[in-house]
Amino acid sequence: MGIFAPDELLAYLPRAYRDWRTPQAIGTLEPGEAVIVATIVRVRERPGRFPLVSADLDDGTGTISAKWFGRRHLFGKLAAGERVFIAGRVARGPRGLDINVTSHRVLRDGEQYSGEVVPIYGATKELTSRQIRTTIAKNLAALIDRRVDALPEAVVRRHGFPPFAQAWHDVHAPADPAAVEAGRRRIVFEEFFGIALAAALKRARREAAGGATPIAPPPELWATFCAQLPFAPTAAQERAIADIWADMTRSAPMNRLLQGDVGSGKTLVAAAAIVLAHTGGLQSALMAPTEILAAQHAAKLAPLLLPFGITVEAVFGSLGARDRRAANDRIRSGAAGLAVGTHALLTESVEFVRLGLVIIDEQHRFGVAQRARLRGKALAPHTLYMTATPIPRTLAQTRYADLDLSIIDELPPGRTPIETYVLRASRKPHAYEFVRKNVELGRQAYIVAPAIDASEPALTGALHEAERIRRDVLPQLRVDVLHGKLAAREKEAVMQRFNRGETDVLVATTVVEVGVDVPNASVMVILDAQRYGLAQLHQLRGRVGRGVERSFCILIAPDDAGAIERLEILAASTDGFAIAEEDLRLRREGEFAGTAQAGAGTGTIGNIVADFELYMQAKAEADRIVAHDPELVAPEHRLLPVLVDGIAAARALLVTS
Ligand code: ADP
Ligand code: MG
């Protein structure tokens, strides 16, 4: 189950608890889970292929028939007159109530039943909750003993946490359910604290190391910058630029994540950073995951930078050797103020004279080593990460805890929000008719399918659907197909045709998610929309609504109330962050509802959405400690590195750049 070490076993918390403390009176039982203590009146045993032991029970308030299915080993073990404890599921049988026994124990003569709270662990077919429970119960003291109690006493006192050993004991073997919550709070706090501590340490190290070139913006720079723009920056763009410029005036290198939905205007913010770097005599580099994206960046940035005399150099893998050499020369000589490119930027032949600002677009699509390599082309460059993937604020706190965050939470004015509708699959013809009408009005449309070929009957394949549309549904329209298996040149050609308006309808897989920008496309139909996460659907629909026209997104899903309800969240909101947060919440709930517990082995125990308050408390403590004792040399902080080391998410923060 991904559990390899004693510590991981201890950290494998129960996903639920059964309260077996108070037996119910048989006379009051209703169908459902129940616990009873009663006397056996009669036992029957049925041998054969499907052995069954049943016992009539009486507790003075009523009678019930207990049934043990398939447990041959119980033959001869139960006898009339014995008192038993039984937990199981009550159902109405043909002759009154039955209880299907999941757990039982014969009580000793005169034993007073005292009951217990039983932990239920996420289990598999091969490894049952009961096996995990007994293993942990048998070894609990030793497991706790091995673990280092590193949380400073002052922190424990301030938050009123139970003592270390008690907390761990109470989550696995609680005397009552209230003890579980107190113990869990301490454990989750400790984990969050470790993550926050790692982030604070990393930040402190970066601050202490310094080494970046500080550039103070000249007083008139903002006015000059704005004067060159064809529009006024939004308030959100202005805030982000202010954050970035403030970072760049310091010798501690900037380490900032700029988040903004598709179309929110990140390019302008990046341009402002590049302009400031340039006034400080520094070059910039911008790396994007694909050539399409890099080319778009170059095309959008060039006019914004031109008034400042900054020339843009593109570095692509597809460049011929001669062009490549020329580009490298201009970067090496400093003639190029900005180099834009793909991974090709990482090659050794690309050398800067004075690289001071590194911008990485969609940073999650690059590996740690790649990001480090680009930054390695300068001593301590200011670094700006950009992403259009909205990361819920809560999640960003842990995953990107060492980055400063700027969020563009406002679209430029004059944009008409996308109207989103959810349609049941039976109404797909209406959606296609809507596409036809819009094409008649001069618009273009995307139809997104979840697969290239229909490998499962329940899935719509792009190829087949395109053929069907072309032949039967919209024969009068020009239909094209785009999918991941096309060669790069073919993809490019399909995109160019759509770009130039030579195709009306583009049937595509999710490859349209990135790097497609056709303002005349105003309708998107997403087939089998239930297959996607909400955040991904939001990204997809960002392909429309890029022009001034009203634009529409139609989500097609089977007639399933749950799926429809989830998709309605998208119809109701255009805020990528709110959607991502909701998506995260739904997914976490889904994971907990299933049998496998989320977080075994590598994940976190705490749920950053549900436990966010606790995270913020842990972060405040971690920040305070690092501010006063950045080397963790005080005696009460001596064990903190052990705590950090024991948490995968915290370790990861310290090694990644
Ligand atoms: P992103 O990269 O965040 O998806 P872009 O930077 O490409 O968004 O901007 C999207 C579009 O909005 C571009 O056409 C850009 O010119 C325009 N734009 C950006 N900022 C503004 C603004 N403040 N006012 C009006 N239009 C803007
Ligand atoms: Mg962009």
Q: What is the mean pLDDT of residues 181-207?
A: 92
195-209 residue pLDDT tens:
999 999 988 988 888
Query: Measured from the CA of 234, which atom of ligand 1 is nearest?
Result: 23
User: Does the structure show a pLDDT above 70 at 598?
Assistant: no
| Helix 648-655 with 177-209: angle, nearest 10 deg | 10
Q: Tell me, in angstroms, the distance from the centre of ligand 1 to residue 262's CA.
A: 9
Query: Measured from the CA of 300, which atom of ligand 1 is nearest?
Result: 7
- CATH class of the region 418-573: alpha beta
Question: Are 381 and 212 within 8 A, CB to CB?
Answer: yes
Given ligand 1 and candidates 268, 301, 361, which is best to mutate, with the most ligand atoms within 8 Å of its CB?
268
Given ligand 1 and candidates 234, 237, 267, 304, which is best to mutate, with the most ligand atoms within 8 Å of its CB?
267
User: Nearest bound ligand to CA 262?
Assistant: 1
Q: What is the pLDDT of residue 587?
A: 65
Cβ < 6 A, ligand 1 pocket: 231, 233-234, 237, 260, 262-268, 300, 388, 412
Q: Tell me, in angstroms, the distance from the centre of ligand 2 to residue 125's CA.
A: 47
User: Does the structure show a pLDDT above 60 at 492?
Assistant: yes
Q: What percent of the chain has pLDDT above 70?
A: 95
538 vs 390 pLDDT, higher one: 538
Q: What is the pLDDT of residue 52?
A: 94
Asked whether the whole model's pTM tops 0.85, one would answer no
Query: Measured from the CA of 233, which atom of ligand 1 is nearest?
Result: 23
* Buried b / exposed e along 300-322 (16+ C-beta atoms within 10 A): bbbebbeebebebbbbbeebeee
Output the residue whose Cα is nearest ligand 1's atom 10. Answer: 263
CA distance 589 to 498: 40
Place of tokens 């966010």: 612
Using 50, 70 and 90 to split pLDDT, how confident is the model at 597? very low
Q: What percent of the chain has pLDDT above 90?
A: 59
Q: Which two tokens stand for residue 309?
A: 């005399």
CA distance 132 to 138: 10
69-82 residue pLDDT tens:
998 899 999 999 99
Length of the chain: 657
Q: Tell me, in angstroms, the distance from the centre of ligand 2 to residue 262's CA.
A: 7
Q: Tell me, in angstroms, the distance from the centre of ligand 2 to residue 461's CA.
A: 29
Query: Measured from the CA of 260, which atom of ligand 1 is nearest?
Result: 3
The CATH number given to 221-249+265-387 is 3.40.50.300
Q: Tell me, in angstroms, the distance from the centre of ligand 1 to residue 264's CA.
A: 6
Question: Are 431 and 492 within 8 A, CB to CB?
Answer: no
Q: Tell me, in angstroms, the distance from the centre of ligand 1 to residue 505's CA.
A: 25
Using 50, 70 and 90 to split pLDDT, how confident is the model at 602? very low
Q: What is the mean pLDDT of the chain?
A: 89
Output the residue whose Cα is nearest ligand 1's atom 11. Answer: 263
Q: Tell me, in angstroms, the distance from the centre of ligand 2 to residue 561's CA.
A: 36
User: Nearest bound ligand to CA 230?
Assistant: 1
Q: Tell me, in angstroms, the distance from the centre of ligand 2 to residue 265's CA.
A: 7
Output the residue whose Cα is nearest ligand 1's atom 27. Answer: 412
Enumerate the β-bridge partners of residue 55: 43, 66
Using 50, 70 and 90 to split pLDDT, how confident is the model at 591? very low
User: Nearest bound ligand to CA 411?
Assistant: 1
110 vs 620 pLDDT, higher one: 620
Where are the domains positioned within the chain?
A: 22-115, 221-249+265-387, 418-573
Q: Tell me, in angstroms, the distance from the centre of ligand 2 to residue 388's CA.
A: 8
User: Does the structure show a pLDDT above 60 at 589?
Assistant: no
Output the residue whose Cα is nearest ligand 1's atom 15. Answer: 265
Q: What is the pLDDT of residue 516?
A: 66
Report CA-CA distances (Å) from 444 to 14, 113, 332, 439: 53, 73, 44, 6
Residue of 307, 303, 304, 328 lying closest to 316 (CA atoms): 328
313 vs 459 pLDDT, higher one: 313
Q: What is the pLDDT of residue 604?
A: 64
214-234 residue pLDDT tens:
999 999 999 999 999 999 999
Residue of 40, 32, 33 lying closest to 64 (CA atoms): 40
Same fold: 22-115 with 221-249+265-387:
no
Using 50, 70 and 90 to split pLDDT, how confident is the model at 593? very low
Query: Measured from the CA of 237, which atom of ligand 1 is nearest?
Result: 23
Give the end-to-end CA distance of the chain in Å, rounded to a whole number. 30
Q: Tell me, in angstroms, the distance from the centre of ligand 1 to residue 189's CA.
A: 41
Q: Residue 266 belongs to what H/E stretch? A: helix 266-279
Query: Measured from the CA of 542, which atom of ligand 1 is nearest?
Result: 4
User: Nearest bound ligand to CA 267?
Assistant: 1
27-41 residue pLDDT tens:
999 999 999 999 999
User: Does the structure show a pLDDT above 70 at 506?
Assistant: yes
Query: Measured from the CA of 408, which atom of ligand 1 is nearest?
Result: 3
Report CA-CA distances (Å) from 54 to 41, 95, 96, 348: 11, 13, 14, 77
Q: What is the pLDDT of residue 580?
A: 81
297-306 residue pLDDT tens:
999 999 999 9
Angle at 451 between CA 445 and CA 454, to 5 degrees: 115
Residue 503, SS3 per DSSP: coil
Spatial CB neighbours of 83, under 8 Å, sequence gap ≥ 6: 37, 38, 39, 40, 106, 107, 111
Amino acid identity of residue 83, one-letter, is: R
User: Does the structure show a pLDDT above 50 at 579?
Assistant: yes
Q: Is 90 left (phi over 0), alpha (psi -120 to 50) or beta?
A: beta
Q: Tell me, in angstroms, the distance from the centre of ligand 2 to residue 518's CA.
A: 13
* Buried b / exposed e along 182-218 (16+ C-beta atoms within 10 A): bbbbbbbbbbbbbbbbbbbbbbbebeeeeebbebebe
Given ligand 1 and candidates 225, 231, 408, which is best to mutate, with the most ligand atoms within 8 Å of its CB?
231
421 vs 3 pLDDT, higher one: 421
Report CA-CA distances (Å) from 616 to 187, 421, 550, 624: 15, 37, 41, 12
Report CA-CA distances (Å) from 466 to 55, 59, 211, 518: 64, 69, 56, 20
CA distance 314 to 301: 11
Output the residue whose Cα is nearest ligand 1's atom 9. Answer: 265
CA distance 599 to 12: 8
Using 50, 70 and 90 to split pLDDT, how confident is the model at 657? low
Query: Measured from the CA of 266, which atom of ligand 1 is nearest?
Result: 3
510-567 residue pLDDT tens:
877 665 678 899 999 999 999 888 888 988 898 888 777 889 999 999 887 778 888 9
Domain 22-115, architecture per CATH:
Beta Barrel (2.40)
